[in-house]
Each structure stands twice: as C-alpha cells, then as structure tokens.
Amino acid sequence: MIDRKIINDPVHGMMAFKSGLIYTLINHPYFQRLRRITQMGLSHLVYPGAVHTRFQHALGATFLMSKSLDVLRSKDIEISDEEYDAACAAVLLHDIGHGPYSHALEYQLIPIHHEAITLEVMNMLNLELGGQLRLAIDIFKNNYHRKFFHQLVSSQLDVDRLDYLTRDSFFTGVVEGTIGYERIINMFTVTSDELVVEEKAIYTIERYLQSRKFMYQQVYLHKTSLGAEAILKSFIRRLTELLETKPNFIANFSNSISDFISSSESKNGVDDQNIKQYLSLDDNDVVFCLKVAQSCNDQVLRRLSTMLIERKLPKVKIQDEAFSNSDITLLKQEAKKSSNFTFDELNYFIFQGEETLNIYNIGEDEIEIVKKDGTKLNFSKYHPNVDSQNFYKKCYICNSFKF
C-alpha cells in the first residue's frame, strides 16, 4: 500500500505519484537538499520572484513524465509498471548532482559536470536501495533499448525543458516564456520505440522553440545575471587561490565551502567520500561564506563578497563580437587610478566572457513529426526555416568600476 501524498504545486496544481519508490527518493536527504538550491542561480537579483528551487522543478518534471506516460498508455503503447516507475525515478533524480546556485558554480567547486555527479549519486542510491534504480540508471544513460524513455528525460523536447520553461516563466513573471506543454504532451506518441509528435502539434512546437529562445535572450542570459554569476565565480576563484597559497588563511576563514575547497578530496575527481561531502553543500553555505568574507583580511575577497551581499553588481556591456584585449587594458588602467588594487587583482573585477546557445540542434536527436499517413520527418525538414537565427551568442565585458 503506497502512502500517497498530494503536493500542491503553484505551476501544475495538485500532484501525486503512483510509485512508492518515488516517495522514498523524495524523502531521501540527498533529494531534500535540492530545496536549498535555487533553480536559476542568481537570477533573483534581476527577477525577485525567481527564488524557486531544483526541488520544485524535479517534482514538476516527474509529474509531467507521469502525464506523458499516461498519454502514451492511452494510445496503446505498452509500458510496464517497472518501466513507468524507472522513467519517473530517472527524471526525478536528473538534477540531483547540481551544486550550490546550480549552473552559476558549475565546475567551480568540483571539476566535474553535474550530470556526471548525478550518475554517481544514482549509483550510490541504487546500492542503498538494493538495486531498485538499475533500470532508471539505464534510461538516464540511454542504455535501455526503448529509446523513448530516455528521450522523455533528455532530448530537444523532454519533460525537463517543458517544466523549467513553464516554471521559470511563472516565477519570473515573464509571460512570453509560456508554452503549451499540455498540448505537446497530448500529441506525444511512439513509433519503433522512439518518441514522435503528432503533426497537429507543429505550431505549438514552433511556439515552444520561440519561447525557449526568448527565455535565454531575456532571462537566462540577462546581462545583470551574467555579471552577478561572474563575480560569484571570481569570489570562489580568489578564495581557492588564497587557500592554496596561504596555509594559515583557513584558520581565520573556516566554513563548509572553504573546508571543502581545502580538502584533498575536492581535487581527486569523483569518489563516494568526495561526493558525500559535496552533497552537504547548498546555497546557504555560499551565502554564509560571503558574509564571513566581508570581514576577512583580503581586500579582493572583501570587495567581491560585498558586491554580492549588497547587490553592487558590475556594469556589463554586450556585443556580437569578442572585446579586444586593449579594451580590457584601458578599463584596468582607469580603475587603477581610483583604487589600490594591483593589475593582477583587477582581473577579478574586470574581464570578458562569452555565452552561446543553439536554440535547436539540426541533425542531432531532432524532434520527429509523424504525419497522418505514418511517415516521419525531422522538424527541420518539416519546418526548413528553423535554422533562421538559430545560433545565439553574447560577448560581454564586466567592469566592477564605472565605464
């Protein structure tokens, strides 16, 4: 007998799950940690409502997975209870490897992509649960012969994207990001064990891709968010440098983040002990570290932490092409006149970067459209203009002093 619980979600309404395994995973400390990791990094510094978490997103994506599987079953696609539970578990855990502030600190605390960490955590949980996640892991790794399960977890039209676009649009208040996810899900079907979408949903998919592009241009890659996350990375980089070059610094600056950076395990790649220590960290640890740094004896760390705590963020300029080194040099020369930072120290405050995005990857795991006569077409062939303005690039320069 499953102890069914109803979860009231502001985006999807009342959510419940059919599997006792899902509730077991939700209640695990590793998953509960996601309550303390924001979905959108530092975007709340631009959009105050964007304080929703990876926990909420993972639950929402799992709910959409269950709706998708129910739709497929209604279309006589054979899905066993074991496959159903495994697919839901795979998407529930798909973000469990994220560290503090999600993508903002990717590779900064541990030099491994969050999906690799996710897989390690899933293996640890599988061992703990006596092998109950074996099929979920195969689906997550795309090792299961029925490909559509993995496509629902990770593809160009998966339940992960359907939830985060809907959820992020809701919490930021950016209505242009709204998508018709219910219609898309109801148009899902399967041919030859691959996920396809009925032709009737073609315009909804077009809108989905337009909304995805808008959210990246106006929200995810908002210049103020880019600047804030760049300063946070500068803070972690400076802290790491101090801990490596000044052994006595840790004695005056001890907290969970600095302890993790200082430990030998954090430099040794992935092992169970390292992962367990990493899974003890969340956004709260970063905030505490920033607050402690405001009174430390390093002027660079003090200024970086104060910038984030007091929202004194860098000025950011954006253009299509990369800025020249001479642009950086001129800004540093101007900043040197009004500060006592060295040129090397100014690298933490004045720098350039680049963000790129393919809105839709043509020829790579494309969305497939099935016509009424049963023939299939890649979305790019059905809609040949999809490559128009498909590639998006932002080159930016951050200056923590006035331009």
Query: Domain containing 355: what range?
Result: 315-403
| 359 phi-psi bin (left φ>0, alpha ψ -120 to 50, beta other) | alpha
Residue 86 lies in a domain: yes
In 31-51, which positions are buried (b, 16+ CB within 10 angstroms) versus exposed (e)? bebbeebbbbbbbbbbbeebe
Q: Which residues of the chain have pLDDT under 70?
A: 1-3, 250-252, 264-270, 387-389, 402-403
Which residue, among 88, 91, 87, 104, has the nearest Cα to 39 in the 3D structure?
Answer: 104
CATH of the domain at 375: 3.30.70
pLDDT at 403: 43
pLDDT at 279: 93
Residue 368 lies in a domain: yes
Helix (H) / strand (E) containing 211: helix 202-215
Last residue of a domain, one of 262, 289, 311: 311
pLDDT one-digit tens code per residue, 215-231: 998 999 999 999 999 99
Residue 48 lies in a domain: yes
Which residue, among 234, 275, 232, 239, has the nearest Cα to 255 in the 3D structure?
Answer: 239
pLDDT at 358: 85
Q: Are residues 101 and 200 in the same domain?
A: yes
Q: Are residues 197 and 247 in the same domain?
A: no
Q: Are residues 300 and 372 in the same domain?
A: no
| Residue listed under structure tokens 């079907």 | 189
Q: Are residues 76 and 140 in the same domain?
A: yes
Q: Are residues 370 and 398 in the same domain?
A: yes
CB atoms within 10 A of CB 286: 24
Burial class (CB in 10 A: 0-12, 13-18, 19+), 328: middle
Tally: H helices and E strands in the chain = 19, 9
Q: Are residues 160 and 99 in the same domain?
A: yes
Q: Are residues 182 and 256 in the same domain?
A: no
Which residue, among 293, 331, 333, has the nearest Cα to 314 in the 3D structure?
Answer: 331
pLDDT one-digit tens code per residue, 329-377: 999 999 998 888 999 999 999 999 998 888 888 887 899 999 988 899 9
Last residue of a domain, one of 191, 221, 251: 221
pLDDT at 258: 81
Helix (H, G, I), strand (E, B) or coil at 106: coil
Last residue of a domain, one of 221, 249, 270: 221
CATH of the domain at 284: 1.20.1250.30
Q: Are residues 38 and 158 in the same domain?
A: yes
Residue 1 lies in a domain: no
CATH of the domain at 136: 1.10.3210.10
Residue 2 lies in a domain: no
Q: Are residues 18 and 85 in the same domain?
A: yes
pLDDT at 226: 93
Residue 172 lies in a domain: yes
List Cα–Cα distances, 204 to 75, 157, 367, in angstroms: 20, 12, 13
Q: Are residues 145 and 288 in the same domain?
A: no
Residue 173 lies in a domain: yes
Structurally, the chain folds into a number of domains equal to: 3
Entry pTM: 0.94
Q: Are residues 324 and 351 in the same domain?
A: yes
Residue 305 lies in a domain: yes
Q: Are residues 98 and 77 in the same domain?
A: yes
